[in-house]
Amino acid sequence: MALIEWSPRLQLDVPDMDRDHHRIVDLMVQLERQSTAGEPRARLDTTFRALGETTRTHFADEERFMQSIAYPEFAAHKVIHTTLLEKFATHYEAFRTGSAAKVDSAVFEFLTFWLRSHISGIDRRYADHVHNGRGAHAK
């Protein structure tokens, strides 16, 4: 069973961001399933890279969205994104240069903790900013 799956608790009611979050969860689940099934490293690498690129693109989109709604915590949120991408890159590099046939379980623990806490905590604040009428409406 996947460490994480999409659920209503992850919904922000900001359509573009929810769509991106759902895609990130799907890629996380795909990577975990591929790893558990013992699929070839090349396939794991492809999914791992897709997860990283999807996350980078999402963060850039999310940052533009936060700027468009004049979100007051934008700068701090951007720093968190940078830190998360650096940690992701470290995990990916360890996989890429290692010889293990599977993705280390620490990667999935990191991804699951990050996604749950980031969406439910940090991202929830910009969603509340929009829904409480303090920012422009969701795109």
User: pLDDT confidence of 46, banded at 50, 70, 90?
Assistant: very high
Q: Please write the tens of the pLDDT for every residue from 63-107.
A: 999 999 999 999 999 999 999 999 999 999 999 999 998 999 999
State yes or no: pLDDT of 137 exceeds 60. Answer: no
State yes or no: pLDDT of 135 exceeds 70. Answer: no
- What angle do the packed helices 105-117 and 15-36 form, to 10 degrees? 160
135 or 102, higher pLDDT: 102
User: pLDDT confidence of 10, banded at 50, 70, 90?
Assistant: confident
CATH of the domain spanning 14-131:
1.20.120.50
34 close to 43: Cβ distance less than 8 angstroms: yes
Res 1: pLDDT: 43
Model confidence, pTM? 0.90
How far apart CA 70 and CA 126 sit, in angstroms, is 10
115 half-sphere exposure, CB direction, 13 A CA radius: 29
Would residue 78 be called left, alpha or beta, if left means φ above 0 and alpha means ψ between -120 and 50 degrees?
A: alpha
Listed by start position, the domains of the chain span 14-131
